[in-house]
Amino acid sequence: MDLILPYLATLAIFFFVYNILTWGLNIQFGYAGVLDFTFITFVACGAYFSGVFALGPGQKSTGFEWILGLNWPFPIALVMGALAAGLLGIVIGLIAINRLRSDYMAIVTLATGTVIYGLVSNYTPLFDGFDGLAGLQTPFSQWLNINYNQFTYLWVGFCAVVMVICWFIAQRILNSPLGRTMRAIREDQEAAEAFGKDSVRVRLIAMSMGAVLAGVGGALLMGFIGAFNPAGWTSGETFVVWAALIVGGRGNNWGGVVGSFVVAVLVNEATRYIPPIPGNATLIPTVRNMLIGASLIAVLWLRPEGIIPEARRRFYQLPLLPGRRTPAEGVGSAGS
Amino acid sequence: MPEADLVLRVEHLSHSFGGFKAVDDCTFEIARGSISALIGPNGAGKSTAVGLIAGALKVQSGRVYFDGQDVTRLPAYKMARRGLLRTYQVSREFPLLTVMENLLVPPPDQRGESLLNALLRPSVGRRQDAALASRAVDVLETYGLLPLRDEYAGNLSGGEKRLLELARAEMANAKFMLLDEPMAGINPALIARLDGHIRRLREQAGITFLLVEHNLDVVERICDQVVVMASGRTLAEGSMAELRRNPEVVRAYLGGGLDERAVG
């Protein structure tokens, strides 16, 4: 019991964080059709910036160096990490979206992410290069006297609260006229422009709001693990989130929940606790990646819209003015 | 023609793709409130001219004036906001949005499209949506599409998609509609309905139309003025009756068989 509960709590944290990440990618790709192949860069941005806001100042002499180091309380650092990721979303969005169409845009996001990866892992004054950030005091420890297991349970609750806030952000965008315009641009960008929609502005909003959620998820990981380095955000990680979104179903956030549970939690995270097979240490990670790839192919063949497809918005769900005829009467009176 | 009556003026428009001159010194004017046609053989540069006017293609040389203002360099979405709506040769509905949603996208000045309103004051968008949905019900009824309101637009038939295009443009408060082959591939009964709607919109809302059209029967029936293009340039302007007597037009259009072979 002493082992299983913390284990389940850890999986719950990953589940909640991956939900947030999948919703973030859903805003970018599922709503607005932006092919963001460097999603993990925004996660890293949130993790790093929340880290350097919450950590103390780095010192070159001790071999730990990073920018800022402000000792801010973690919840505020998390917000700063999310904002930094949102800003990076606008920057990468401007590079990728402004002039290019979808497939080229995807290549440019991947290329930009690779440039940033090279910069961050080699230029140590930023986030201590390949060693990365470490030594973050457990969040809330300045106010509460708790041991590590208790902190894990506390973090499950904190992640749940943050996740609910992110759910509302994602749902409100989806159900607003802004979300409708994003989906119209996803369906046919040129036609949306021909109806007066500024597709660059709308896709930049999608890019940066998706990046904000990515940043929140990254900050939650930073707060939980207390360390973050380039080994944690290789480009392969981007495709775990992509696989979760495609398998679960894009364009609706319940699909993201299902996908993040199946792909990210069951396959990607839960299998990390299986002890390595003696003499074949890489077998489990390899099988894990094969499983993710296979689930992606299976879904694209058998159910391309995902386990939970995008919901059709029926007319009775649309608000009518008070006193206006109901849809049923509308059909009856057609031609009047 | 006095300046005030013109809604669109195209001056010396030229455009090449690589080495191919698709539009070459094209000049014409469209009177406000008219229904005009742009005709010409395939490859005459009509669709390119439409793209240039609507801002979907960048103008390489020449000028476009709309409503008395130089709009040569405006991108497509800004042209639409000024009231110039264009449709495409192939229907460009939003396939995974319902018919109803397809009508709710076009209206301009939607306050619910601002991120802050979407996140913090969703009621702003909902209230405006209620008014727009109510108007959309009327428009759908007019086009006979109301029973299909919950259908994915991608599932409509070719003819229904054509009606949807007009309905969407009507929702966008257009002043000028640039329709690229609106009658292509639809049956005669539907053609009659479409041209009825075009005439109704001109009478009710004062919308000016410019149709790229191959069906000369339709052109003769509903258009006041016709512009003929061939090999990228404007060849002639005038009424259909005048153009039939113009030997240059007859020669350019379908190799001389204007009267016998021009239909369809």
The complex scores an ipTM of 0.90
Q: What pLDDT is attached to residue A333?
A: 34
Q: Tell me which residue in B104, B106, B115 faces A178 most closely, judged by beta carbons.
A: B115
Residues of A within 8 A of B149 (CB-CB) are: 315, 327
Q: Tell me which residue in A172, A194, A334 faces B119 most closely, judged by beta carbons.
A: A172
Q: Inter-chain contact A183–B94, Cβ cutoff 8 Å? A: yes
Whether A328 has its CB under 8 Å from any CB of chain B: the answer is no
Beta-carbon-side half-sphere exposure of residue A43 (alpha carbons within 13 Å): 32
- Nearest-CA distance A159 → chain B (Å): 21
Quickly state the pLDDT bin for B255 (edges 50, 70, 90).
Answer: low
pLDDT tens digits, residue range B27-39? 999 999 999 999 9
Q: Find, in chain B, the residue whose alpha carbon is nearest to that of A200.
A: B77
Q: What is the pTM of this model?
A: 0.89
pLDDT tens digits, residue range A292-319? 999 999 999 999 899 998 888 877 655 5
Q: Tell me which residue in B111, B117, B129 faces A319 most closely, judged by beta carbons.
A: B129
Q: Inter-chain contact B152–A312, Cβ cutoff 8 Å? A: yes
DSSP helix/strand/coil, A69: coil
Quickly state the pLDDT bin for A277 (edges 50, 70, 90).
Answer: confident
Q: What pLDDT is attached to residue A322?
A: 53
Residues of A within 8 A of B111 (CB-CB) are: 177
Q: What pLDDT is attached to residue A1?
A: 56
pLDDT tens digits, residue range B106-132? 999 999 999 999 999 999 999 999 999
| pLDDT surpasses 70 at B261 | no
Residues of A within 8 A of B106 (CB-CB) are: 195-196
Mean pLDDT over A228-239 rounds to 90
What would the DSSP string read from start to end of A193-231? HHTT--HHHHHHHHHHHHHHHHHHHHHHHHHHHS-B-GG
Q: Tell me which residue in A184, A193, A194 faces B97 most closely, judged by beta carbons.
A: A184
- Nearest-CA distance A92 → chain B (Å): 19
Q: What pLDDT is attached to residue A279?
A: 81
| pLDDT surpasses 70 at B90 | yes
- Nearest-CA distance A263 → chain B (Å): 26
- Beta-carbon contacts below 8 Å between A and B: 149
Residue reference for tokens 């090279």: A118
For chain A, what percent of residues have pLDDT higher than 70? 92
| pLDDT surpasses 70 at A280 | yes
Quickly state the pLDDT bin for A336 (edges 50, 70, 90).
Answer: very low
Whether B65 has its CB under 8 Å from any CB of chain A: the answer is no
Whether B165 has its CB under 8 Å from any CB of chain A: the answer is no
Q: Find, in chain A, the residue whose alpha carbon is nearest to that of B77.
A: A196
Residues of chain A numbered 29-58 and touching chain B (CB < 8 Å): none
Mean pLDDT over A51-60 rounds to 84
Mean pLDDT over A197-214 rounds to 96
Tell me the CA end-to-end span of chain A in Å, nearest whole number.
70
| pLDDT surpasses 60 at A89 | yes
As a whole number of angstroms, the distance between CA A272 and CA A237 comes to 14
Which of B105, B116, B138, B170 would you mutate first to test chain A, the one with the most A CBs within 10 A? B105
What would the DSSP string read from start to end of B56-112? SS---EEEEEETTEE-TT--HHHHHHTTEEEE-SS----TTSBHHHHHHSS-S--GG
| pLDDT surpasses 90 at A288 | no
| pLDDT surpasses 70 at B150 | yes
Quickly state the pLDDT bin for B256 (edges 50, 70, 90).
Answer: very low
As a whole number of angstroms, the distance between CA A46 and CA A88 comes to 10
- CB count, 10 Å around CB of B151? 15
Helical residues (DSSP H) of chain B, grouped into ranges: 46-54, 76-81, 99-104, 115-120, 122-143, 158-171, 188-205, 216-222, 240-244, 247-252, 258-261
Which of A101, A171, A176 would you mutate first to test chain B, the one with the most B CBs within 10 A? A176
| pLDDT surpasses 50 at B1 | no
| pLDDT surpasses 60 at A2 | yes
Cβ atoms of B152 and B134 closer than 8 Å: no
Q: Which of A42-51, A145-154, B62-71 has the lowest mean pLDDT?
A: A145-154
Whether B93 has its CB under 8 Å from any CB of chain A: the answer is yes
Q: Find, in chain A, the residue whose alpha carbon is nearest to that of B54.
A: A194
Q: What pLDDT is attached to residue A127?
A: 92
